[in-house]
Amino acid sequence: MYMNGKILFTVILCFLLIGKSYSQNQFDSVRYFGIEVGNTFLPFNIPDYSFIRADNSSNNNDNSAINLTGRYNEFQFSIKTETRSLKNKLGLLYGIRLTYITSSLGKQDIWSKNDKYFYLLVNQSNTSSEILRVNEINQNSYFIGIPLELRYFTSHNRFFRFYFKTSVDLSYKFFTKNDVIFYNDNMESYTTDVINKFAKPSPFHCNINFGAGIKLGKEGKFNINIEAFAVSFNIVKTNSSIVRTGIGGGMQVNLLIPLKF
């Protein structure tokens, strides 16, 4: 967490310094405005939950004995504006972003109806234990925040331009919905008890990306940008309270139109 904080601080400092370096002389008269959609693919692992019963013999007392599957996906929608500098080779983008994170834990098989379950310990006293048969636990969260992006074009003005890009996204969670699918429908009254076994997801989302893209379109005209992130990771690992994310990649597509002033 300390190292991730250092990286975040360094990236934000770079953005601020570059932003400050923009002077009126360097400021192009064309500003771009547009919308963007994106998807981040992050690998994840399932933490070791002591309240979930193993169902698999194993040579190690680790998660391989529990045999759960998980899912994690991030989707983004943004409205952004871009200003260019350094003879139109450096672009600074910022705006407002809505991020949707969905994750799940269970015995889900995407190819068939899920009729498998795992046992989750919901209550325990000195001489009794109560477990529930659970098919799946789902968590969906919505974040709103500010993306800050910097891109550097490798060539001067032309229809097709390649660029490198780095970005940071700072968001705040404004809504979370948790859902538990029980093997026995009559156990729905225990939904809150099951959800409370897991820690709450972090209210903050901070994602850092390093990648590249191509811009299609004449300067001063409508642009389409297609980007891929080779490195993408969340500073805060607990955006989902049921799985933990690692380092992955992502894709974004944005459409920018020029606003001359």
Partner 1 sequence: MKIKYLFLILIIIISCKKDKNLRDSIFIEDVESPGLPIYSEWGYNTFGAYYDREVFISNDKKVPLKIIVTNDTMTFNFFGQLGNTSYNNMTMKFYFTNFLPVNYEDLLQLNDTIINLNNTNKISINIYGSNVNVTLLNGYFKVDKAQLLFVDTKETEVILSGHFEFQALINNEPIAISDGRFDIGVNQSNFFSY
- Binding residues for partner 1, per CB under 8 A? 53-61, 65, 119, 124, 126-133, 182-184, 186-187
Torsion angles phi and psi, residue 216, rounded to 5: -120, 125
Residue 103's identity, in one-letter code, is S
The residue (of 23 and 127) whose beta carbon lies closer to partner 1 is 127
Instruction: Give the whole-angstrom CA distance, residue 149 versus residue 247.
Output: 19
The residue (of 42 and 194) whose beta carbon lies closer to partner 1 is 194
CA 194 to centroid of chain Cα atoms = 24
The residue (of 23 and 129) whose beta carbon lies closer to partner 1 is 129
Which tokens in the block code for residue 182? 């029980």
Least distance between partner 1 and beta carbon 216 (Å): 55
Q: Which residues pair with 163 in a beta bridge?
A: 153, 213
How many C-beta atoms surround the C-beta of residue 88 within 10 A?
15
Instruction: Give the whole-angstrom CA distance, residue 82 versus residue 26.
Output: 14
The residue (of 105 and 120) whose beta carbon lies closer to partner 1 is 120
Least distance between partner 1 and beta carbon 57 (Å): 4
Query: What secondary structure letter does DSSP report for 238?
Result: T
Least distance between partner 1 and beta carbon 199 (Å): 22
Least distance between partner 1 and beta carbon 244 (Å): 22
The residue (of 14 and 121) whose beta carbon lies closer to partner 1 is 121
Which tokens in the block code for residue 110? 């995407």
Least distance between partner 1 and beta carbon 85 (Å): 58
